[in-house]
């Protein structure tokens, strides 16, 4: 399960994010524009993301420079939920399952939660951290809505801070959730339902209590408002009040250990507010965009907006959960202001001048050469790379297999051979990146060596539906570590394309420099169009490959790859579009190749259906941007979802990883095992940080004495 972790993950609702994984608007992640993840992240949102800290690997940290999506992500028939109560791999109760229907303070998919009942606070916070100050961040793009639950519009960043959820995660654990709005949670031994007892102190920001009716309304309406929410909660058949302050969610399958946590991520909305009329006199509608300031129950409320340009949040001083263990020592800034820029370059200049407090660097070249400015030299700005422990996201060039030219795996494999990562890493990235080696890289979830044991048993069940190499050869990226390596790979790519029916032919090509006079000369035979050797199939079609991106900066990364593809005779090109066009084309699958990020947690689960499942391939807006329709993949996803214990989960993810890799659905890019951050030295922070993120906005605090010292040095 790619957890939308705690308050932290919910903070990532942003126009330039795409939930990771990402999950739908569970924690209201705006599934727009560049991409997160779920939480799929794209680098344009890098600075904003780093402000909030994550519990998963954020692709943004490895992008170079900001690439489009992501995210987080992130998925036919075999993924359709079984009929209610039908036996499935799920009907086996996990051997390590705790006592049935026991009331718990937390849930975990890996052993016991780190923090036991009655814990005072997380050990990565300063429980006595001072409150105060304003944190100023940036986002790229714009926004036109304050409703992060709708599929429509571009919601403002940070709206997740406004809404609390039933449970909250910890960015120091890969698979645990702790009660927030709920006071306790329980489930039967067969995992066929989950019940939440609500905290009687839970309140919305207007002081009204959070009731079972609010929870039920939130579940029903969020499923209607966003197709991803409907897909994400598809195994949850109903929510009903089962006690004075209790809500029970019933599932249509048994044994899915992840479903209680999935429901725990539900953001709870005030039913009375959403069933009322807005300022325009019309009934509010969760499925529509709105610029009305929302009512929530979270630690921040919207203070003010400058439509499309900036949004300011203020801390709720009497926040109902401020003394709970899951919130103590967190969210210490009185205000958070997010300013939007159309491009990162002017935003970085604002950071250097002190108008933005924090910068998360996504570009290796800028990290190496862009920080020679006075404030850093004089010690007013700090720069550091903070190590993080998390599954490396699959950041990659993704083929749209809905396009017929990419439906042959030999073609996709040829594209992979033509990508010279080593050259890019040397010339563009200062040798700072590591090649992504799989869909669960940098973790025990990744396939290694040849399949054996339980993994081999699972693969034998789909033996006739997967490439033979799955059983005989360990998958590895092509490595260009010798003078002739790349030439050899290009020859291999050329042979694969020929085997797939693509032959080099001389054809006329468009001349962008040919004006009216040139056209007249050609029409009377006094001039001829330029010619080029291009690959064509037996129908005379060229092998087109347009890379759709939304960051002009990313062109310098893609261009060498495009030029190498052109050497093979591929009609490769780059198309740069703005955020709105990019989102529209991505959601409607109008692209050949895009850059995407698929972030994973240590406990993969239902999100795999949205990433790779056949049912998601034809659903606009799903995370299955590759258009994968593979029965073997669907079956292995179910093995992941219904794994009865950790050993079974590892075997299933190993098998899934291996099959995805040998189908060459993507060309893996790179990752970076650190968070590169720079910030004005006006903050305090705990001695210990969470293992998976710097979590600046979540657990750091404003230091007034440091601010005075900086002001004095700057003559202010």
- Separation in Å, CA 485 to CA 355, 453, 489, 497, 529: 48, 35, 6, 19, 36
CA–CA dist 414, 208 (Å, integer): 60
Q: What is the mean pLDDT of residues 383-410?
A: 96
Model confidence over 342-365: pLDDT tens digits? 889 999 999 999 999 999 998 888
- Separation in Å, CA 695 to CA 1, 13, 419, 698, 701: 20, 16, 34, 5, 11
Could you give all domains of the chain from N- to C-terminal order, each with its CATH number?
394-671 (3.10.105.10)
Global pTM reads 0.77
Q: Say how many C-beta atoms besides its own lie within 10 A of residue 639's C-beta.
A: 22
Q: Say how many C-beta atoms besides its own lie within 10 A of residue 548's C-beta.
A: 20
Encoding tokens for residue 549? 């991106």
CA–CA dist 107, 261 (Å, integer): 7
Q: What is the mean pLDDT of residues 198-227?
A: 97
Model confidence over 68-119: pLDDT tens digits? 333 333 333 333 333 333 334 334 334 344 567 899 999 998 889 999 999 9
In this prediction, residue 28 has a pLDDT band, given cuts at 50, 70 and 90, of very low
* Residue 251 phi, psi dihedral angles, 5° rounding: -105, 155
User: Which of 658, 599, 459 is closest to 62 using CA atoms?
Assistant: 599
Q: Which of 220-224, 542-546, 598-602, 612-616 has the lowest mean pLDDT?
A: 598-602
Model confidence over 521-572: pLDDT tens digits? 667 676 666 778 999 999 999 999 999 999 888 999 999 999 999 999 999 9
CA–CA dist 546, 569 (Å, integer): 14
Task: Specify whether the CB–CB gap between 46 and 636 falls below 8 A.
Answer: no
CA–CA dist 439, 655 (Å, integer): 11
Q: What is the mean pLDDT of residues 146-161?
A: 95
In this prediction, residue 692 has a pLDDT band, given cuts at 50, 70 and 90, of confident
pLDDT at 111: 85
Q: Say how many C-beta atoms besides its own lie within 10 A of residue 273's C-beta.
A: 17
pLDDT at 636 over 80: yes
CA–CA dist 312, 303 (Å, integer): 6
pLDDT at 511: 66
CA–CA dist 184, 475 (Å, integer): 45
pLDDT at 26 over 50: no
Q: What is the mean pLDDT of the chain?
A: 86
The helix or strand, by DSSP H or E, that contains position 271, with its residue range, turns out to be helix 271-274
CA–CA dist 608, 468 (Å, integer): 23
pLDDT at 19: 28
Terminal C-alpha separation, the chain: 49
DSSP state string for 165-223: BSEEE-TT-SSEEEESSEEEEE--TT--EEEEEEPTT-B-TTSPBP-HHHHHHHHHHHH
């Amino acid at each position: 399960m790619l957890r939308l972790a705690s308050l932290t993950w919910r903070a990532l609702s942003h126009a330039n994010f795409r939930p990771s994984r990402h999950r739908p608007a569970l924690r209201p992640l705006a599934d727009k524009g560049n991409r997160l993840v779920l939480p799929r992240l794209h680098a344009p949102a890098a600075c904003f993301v780093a402000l909030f800290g994550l519990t998963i690997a954020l692709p943004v940290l490895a992008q170079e420079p900001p690439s489009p999506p992501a995210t987080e992500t992130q998925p036919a028939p075999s993924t359709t939920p079984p009929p209610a109560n039908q036996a499935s791999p799920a009907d086996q109760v996990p051997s390590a399952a705790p006592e049935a229907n026991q009331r718990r303070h937390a849930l975990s998919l890996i052993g016991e939660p780190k923090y036991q009942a009655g814990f005072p606070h997380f050990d990565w916070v300063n429980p006595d951290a001072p409150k105060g100050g304003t944190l100023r961040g940036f986002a790229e793009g714009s926004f036109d809505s304050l409703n992060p639950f709708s599929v429509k519009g571009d919601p403002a960043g940070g709206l997740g801070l406004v809404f609390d959820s039933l449970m909250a995660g910890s960015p120091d654990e890969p698979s645990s959730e702790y009660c927030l709005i709920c006071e306790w949670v329980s489930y039967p031994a067969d995992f066929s339902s989950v019940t939440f007892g609500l905290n009687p102190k839970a309140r919305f920001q207007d002081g009204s209590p959070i009731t079972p009716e609010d929870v039920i309304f939130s579940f029903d309406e969020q499923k209607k408002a966003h197709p991803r929410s409907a897909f994400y909660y598809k195994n949850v058949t109903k929510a009903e009040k089962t006690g004075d302050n209790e809500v029970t969610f019933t599932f249509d399958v048994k044994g899915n250990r992840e479903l209680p946590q999935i429901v725990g991520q539900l953001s709870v909305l005030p039913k009375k507010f959403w069933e009322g009329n807005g300022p325009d006199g019309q009934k509010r509608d969760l499925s529509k965009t709105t610029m009305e300031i929302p009512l929530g129950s979270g630690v921040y409320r919207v203070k003010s907006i400058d439509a499309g340009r900036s949004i300011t949040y203020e801390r709720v001083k009497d926040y109902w959960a401020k003394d709970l263990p899951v919130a103590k020592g967190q969210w210490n800034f009185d205000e958070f202001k997010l300013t939007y820029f159309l491009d990162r370059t002017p935003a970085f200049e604002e950071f250097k001048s002190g108008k933005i407090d924090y910068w998360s660097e996504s570009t290796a070249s800028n990290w190496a050469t862009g920080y020679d400015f006075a404030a850093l030299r004089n010690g007013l700005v700090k720069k550091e790379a903070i190590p993080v422990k998390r599954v490396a996201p699959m950041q990659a060039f993704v083929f749209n297999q809905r396009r017929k030219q990419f439906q042959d795996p030999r073609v996709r494999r040829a594209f992979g051979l033509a990508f010279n990562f080593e050259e890019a890493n040397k010339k563009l990235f200062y040798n700072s990146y590591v090649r992504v080696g799989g869909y669960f890289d940098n973790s025990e979830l990744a396939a290694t060596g040849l399949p054996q044991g339980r993994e081999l048993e699972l693969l034998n069940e789909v033996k006739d539906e997967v490439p033979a190499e799955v059983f005989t050869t360990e998958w590895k990226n092509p490595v260009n570590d010798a003078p002739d390596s790349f030439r050899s790979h290009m020859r291999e790519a050329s042979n694969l394309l020929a085997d797939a029916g693509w032959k080099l032919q001389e054809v006329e090509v468009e001349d962008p420099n040919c004006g009216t006079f040139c056209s007249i000369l050609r029409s009377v035979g006094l001039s001829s169009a330029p010619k080029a050797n291009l690959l064509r199939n037996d129908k005379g079609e060229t092998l087109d490959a347009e890379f759709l991106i939304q960051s002009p900066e990313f062109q310098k990364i893609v261009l060498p790859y495009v030029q190498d593809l052109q050497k093979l005779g591929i009609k490769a090109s780059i198309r740069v579009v703005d955020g709105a066009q990019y989102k529209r084309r991505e959601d409607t699958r109008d692209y050949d190749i895009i850059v995407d990020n698929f972030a994973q947690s240590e406990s993969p689960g239902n999100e795999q259906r949205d990433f790779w499942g056949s049912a998601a391939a034809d659903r606009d807006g799903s995370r299955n941007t590759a258009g994968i329709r593979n029965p073997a993949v669907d079956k292995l996803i179910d093995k992941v979802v219904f794994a009865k214990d950790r050993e079974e989960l590892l075997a299933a993810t190993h098998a899934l990883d291996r099959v995805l890799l040998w189908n060459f659905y993507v060309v893996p890019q790179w990752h970076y095992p650190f968070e590169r951050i720079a910030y004005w030295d006006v903050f305090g922070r705990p001695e210990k940080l969470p293992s998976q993120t710097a979590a600046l906005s979540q657990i750091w605090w404003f230091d007034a004495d440091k601010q005075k010292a900086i002001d004095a040095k700057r003559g202010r």
